[in-house]
Amino acid sequence: MRTKIFLILVLCLFASSAATAEGFYVGAGLGVVKIKDEDSSIQAPLDDKFSDTVYGWQLFGGYDLNDRLGFEVAYLQTDTAEDEILGDPSIGFDGLPVQTELSSFTASVLGYLPPWNDARFYGRLGYYNGEQESTFMGVTADDDSDGLLAGAGVRFGDASNDISFRSEFVWYDTDFDEVWSINMTVLYSFGS
């Protein structure tokens, strides 16, 4: 249901761009995602820390109101993160395998600094609504989560070009102790 609502909103966003294409853009990107969780509920010597860095991809679209403010919606998906937990190093037991995969829809406000040469530095603040699918000992469970996201980056490309590139860091406030990503994206701007 959440996917259908998001797709309807994106279609409305881009359908309205036909009338006034100035400021609209779409893009895609790849990145690395760090997922880390240090559950303190399990007593030593058992290892209960989950940590992995995986690849992720994203599709997004947005609208720059002016050279200082923009809005963006995106869909993000990670590869499967894997680690072993509940191990006991003192007896040589590495632990039991755990896999998790994250996906989410996001909506952000972007604030731009004045352009410097062909670079535009920006910050982002937004909201994500995601799903975590985890497998432990053959049992798969889904968990919905939502929260804030914050990030910063730089967009490269002359304002007169249709194509530009972005590099950014984004932090997500999740149930995990730490989730962040570093992304490289390409954008196509309508009406440049």
- Tens digit of pLDDT for each residue in 157-182? 865 678 999 999 999 987 766 788 99
Phi-psi region of 95 (alpha: psi -120 to 50; beta: other; left: phi over 0): left
Number of structural domains in the chain: 1
Listed in sequence order, the residues at least 6 apart from 139 whose beta carbon sits closer than 8 Å to its beta carbon are: none
Q: What share of the chain is helix, strand, coil (3-state, %, to 5)?
A: 10, 65, 25
Over residues 111-162, the pLDDT tens digits come to: 999 888 888 999 999 999 988 887 877 777 788 888 999 999 999 986 567 8
The CATH number assigned to the domain holding 30 equals 2.40.160.20
Residue 153: the pLDDT is 97
Would you say the C-alpha torsion 182, 183, 184, 188 has a positive or negative sign? negative
Share of the chain above pLDDT 70, in %: 74
Amino acid at site 136 = F
3 state DSSP class of 91: helix
Range of the domain at 159: 2-189
Give 103-146 as a DSSP string.
EEEEEEEEEEPPPBTTEEEEEEEEEEEEEEEEEETTEEEEEEEE
